[in-house]
C-alpha cells in the first residue's frame, strides 16, 4: 500500500535525526527525486500511487517531485535493495514467538482473539526492530521504529496551489 511508504517518508521529515539531509533553514528542501522499485505499491504508473505522490507534494509544499523506477530486472543495481540484503541475513535462523502473550489462534489457525494477536504481533515487530537497529548498512546506523497503525494521512488534505 503506497500510503505506508508515504508515512515512512513523512516520519523521516519530522525526525530531527534526518534534518540535516531533508531540511534547509527549517523547511523541507523543495526538490525531491524518488527512485523506487517497479512494484505496484510504489510504481508511479498506478493511479493510487499518483494520488499519494500528489498529496505528498502538497503536504510538503514541494516545488518539484520526480518519481522514477528501476527498469525491470535491474533492482540488483539498487543500493537500497543491496543494503536490505544484509538486514535479511540477520533473520536467518531466528525464530519469533507467535504466542508471547498467549495463544490467539484456534485449532484451525484462525484468529480467535484480535487484541491478543495484535500484542503478539507487536512483540515480534519490536524484536525485529531490536535486531535491525544493531546493524549497519553502508557504514551507517539503521533506524527502526515500530508503527502501531497506519493513519490515513491525506484524508483532509486540500491542495495548496
**Per-residue pLDDT averaged across 97-102, rounded?**
76
pLDDT-derived band at 149, boundaries 50, 70, 90: low
pLDDT tens-digit series, residues 39-53: 788 888 889 899 999
> How many C-beta atoms surround the C-beta of residue 155 within 10 A?
7
What confidence score (pLDDT) does residue 37 get?
79
pLDDT tens-digit series, residues 8-17: 888 889 889 8
Question: Which contacts qualify for 77-81: CB closer than 8 Å, 24 or more apart?
Answer: 78/35, 78/37, 79/138, 81/37
- Every domain of the chain and the residues it spans: 1-74+148-161
Query: Where is pLDDT greater, at 62 or 102?
Result: 62
8 A C-beta contact, residue 49 and residue 9: no
Alpha-carbon span 4 to 40, nearest angstrom: 13
Amino acid at each position: 500500500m503506497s500510503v505506508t511508504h508515504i508515512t515512512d517518508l513523512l516520519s523521516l521529515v519530522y525526525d530531527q535525526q534526518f534534518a540535516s539531509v531533508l531540511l534547509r533553514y527549517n523547511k523541507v528542501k523543495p526538490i525531491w527525486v524518488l527512485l523506487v522499485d517497479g512494484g505496484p505499491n510504489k510504481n508511479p504508473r498506478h493511479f493510487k500511487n499518483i494520488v499519494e505522490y500528489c498529496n505528498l507534494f502538497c503536504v510538503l509544499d514541494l516545488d518539484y517531485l520526480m518519481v522514477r523506477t528501476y527498469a525491470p530486472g535491474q533492482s540488483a543495481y539498487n543500493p537500497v535493495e543491496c543494503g536490505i540484503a544484509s538486514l535479511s541475513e540477520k533473520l536467518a535462523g531466528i525464530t519469533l514467538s507467535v504466542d508471547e502473550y498467549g495463544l490467539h489462534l484456534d485449532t484451525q489457525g484462525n484468529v480467535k482473539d484480535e487484541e491478543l494477536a495484535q500484542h503478539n504481533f507487536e512483540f515480534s515487530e519490536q524484536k525485529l526492530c531490536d535486531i535491525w537497529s544493531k546493524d549497519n548498512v553502508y557504514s551507517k546506523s539503521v533506524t527502526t521504529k515500530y508503527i502501531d497503525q497506519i493513519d490515513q494521512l491525506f484524508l483532509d488534505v486540500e491542495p495548496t496551489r
